[in-house]
């Protein structure tokens, strides 16, 4: 996680001057959809615990900026709730899980709800070693009691999310199972359901249920990116899951250029992990991405001020991207290329 941030902020851009950048345009098109700038909100589990019905608030903010919102498999709000309460183009993220009945069911529900794009996360055959979850009370000894104590110490959250943001369930899973599922259930269900036997064959199985655009998320190696092209994916997300899976892998921005050399132009190339500003978006695009996903950046904004916080963040990011484009002499997203990168000392 640290390396995602430090490697990305080390990327130096090449300032250019007197190049008439009037009429600058930050928009781009992905899978036939026009986005006001090249970003989408990443799938983040339990978003509804950061703000009241957090998935709906984030999706509304995304809609206002004409960028996609990605709903996690393990969201608090189910697909239908998010779809019926916002007008965002909704992407749905799916894990490969042992319970194939659930996968089939949720894909049908996604399609019926008008989800446009499937984001298939493949870097989670097992959850990473997440010691911070134990420290925070997300898991570990006395987790439920510790969370209760935290609620008492945070009365604003307790009222807004703890009481008025209920039900705190995993909406997509409880709809399938037909009964409510709490946080403990979430952890247990996840632990049982991640499937280490996952292979490209499982993606072929998914393809039979999903005819729309499909992105494969969690690629860090050019050979895997080539396999994704051979499989017929519509896009990939270069991602180390925000540093939450294998500690010690490459940062996404470091992994990106060789992957861009291998597949750029053949499929949509997205990247995430470490993006915190419009400047970071320009950096990822200069390194080869067509667009980025925002994870923690929007979650922090959502926790701070709900839909309004995410809208403010997205406005800021768009403005920062504009500044970066103006001062690197790029009039369109297409004009942000490897030529926009500065040579640094020793590089
Ligand atoms: C708290 C948290 C929960 C996440 N949950 C999911 C998830 O349910 N599905 C998924 O594909 N990725 C999940 N991710 C990974 C994000 O989609 C994204 O890859 C990552 O946050 C990008 O890094 P960043 O946070 O530095 O922007 C999660 C990330 C965080 C921080």
**CB-based burial, 132-161: b 16+ in 10 Å, e otherwise:** ebeeebbbeeebeeeeeeeeeeeeebbeeb
Residue to substitute in 3, 4, 8, 43 for testing ligand 1 pocket (most ligand atoms within 8 angstroms of CB):
43
Task: State mean pLDDT over 215-236.
Answer: 98
Whether omega before 117 lies within 30 degrees of 0, making that bond cis, reads no
pLDDT reading at 347 higher than 70:
no
pLDDT at 22: 96
Mean pLDDT of the chain: 94
Q: Does 190 have pLDDT greater than 80?
A: no
User: 125: exposed, middle or buried (C-beta count within 10 Å: 0-12, 13-18, 19+)?
Assistant: middle
Closest C-alpha residue for ligand 1 atom 29: 44
Q: In the predicted model, is pLDDT for residue 215 greater than 90?
A: yes
Residue among 186, 162, 184, 164 nearest 174 (CA)? 186
Ligand 1 close to Cβ of residue 45 (< 6 A):
yes
* Distance (Å) from CA 46 to ligand 1 centroid: 10
64-95 tens-digit pLDDT: 999 999 999 999 999 999 999 998 789 999 99
What is the C-alpha separation between 225 and 217, in angstroms, rounded? Answer: 10
pLDDT of 188? 78
For 111-155, what is each residue's pLDDT tens digit? 999 999 999 999 999 889 999 989 988 888 999 899 999 999 999
Contact 47, 299 (CB under 8 A): yes
154 is catalytic: no
Q: What is the pLDDT of residues 248-271, one digit of tens each?
A: 999 999 999 999 999 999 999 999
Q: How far is the CA of 41 from the centre of ligand 1 (A)?
A: 10
Of the pLDDT bands very low, low, confident and very high (cuts 50, 70, 90), residue 344 is: confident
Using the predicted structure, report yes or no on whether residue 227 has a pLDDT greater than 70: yes
Mean pLDDT on 168-177: 89
Which one of the listed residues 154, 168, 179, 241 is annotated catalytic? Answer: 241
pLDDT of residue 329: 98
**How many A from CA of 333 to the centre of ligand 1?**
25
Q: Is ligand 1 within 6 A of the CB of residue 121?
A: yes
């Amino acid at each position: 996680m640290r390396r995602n941030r430090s490697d990305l902020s080390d990327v130096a851009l090449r300032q250019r001057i007197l190049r008439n950048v009037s009429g600058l345009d930050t928009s781009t098109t992905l899978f036939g959809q026009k986005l006001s700038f090249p970003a989408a909100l990443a799938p983040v589990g339990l978003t509804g615990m950061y703000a009241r019905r957090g998935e709906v608030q984030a999706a509304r903010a995304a809609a206002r900026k004409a960028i996609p919102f990605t709903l996690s498999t393990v969201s608090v709000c189910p697909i239908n709730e998010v779809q019926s309460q916002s007008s965002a183009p909704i992407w749905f993220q799916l894990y490969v899980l042992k319970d194939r009945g659930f996968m089939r069911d949720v894909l049908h529900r996604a399609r019926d709800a008008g989800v446009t794009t499937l984001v298939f996360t493949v870097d989670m055959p097992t959850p990473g070693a997440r010691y911070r979850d134990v420290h925070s009370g997300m898991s570990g000894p006395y987790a439920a009691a510790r969370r209760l104590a935290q609620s008492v110490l945070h009365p604003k959250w307790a009222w807004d999310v703890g009481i008025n943001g209920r039900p705190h369930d995993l909406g997509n899973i409880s709809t399938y199972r037909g009964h409510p599922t709490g946080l403990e259930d979430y952890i247990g269900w996840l632990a049982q359901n991640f499937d280490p036997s996952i292979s490209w064959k499982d993606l072929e199985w998914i393809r039979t249920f999903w005819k729309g655009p499909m992105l494969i998320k969690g690629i860090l190696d050019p050979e895997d990116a080539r396999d994704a092209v051979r499989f017929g994916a519509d896009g990939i997300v270069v991602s180390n899951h925000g540093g939450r899976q294998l500690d010690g892998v490459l940062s996404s921005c470091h992994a990106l250029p060789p992957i861009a050399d291998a597949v750029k132009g053949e499929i949509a190339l997205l990247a995430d992990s470490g993006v915190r500003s419009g400047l970071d978006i320009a950096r990822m695009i200069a390194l080869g991405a067509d667009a980025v996903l925002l994870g923690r950046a929007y979650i922090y904004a959502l926790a701070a001020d709900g839909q309004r916080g995410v809208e403010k963040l997205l406005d800021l990011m768009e403005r920062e991207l504009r500044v970066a484009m103006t001062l690197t002499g790029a009039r369109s997203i297409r004009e942000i290329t490897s030529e926009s990168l500065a040579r640094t000392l020793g590089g």
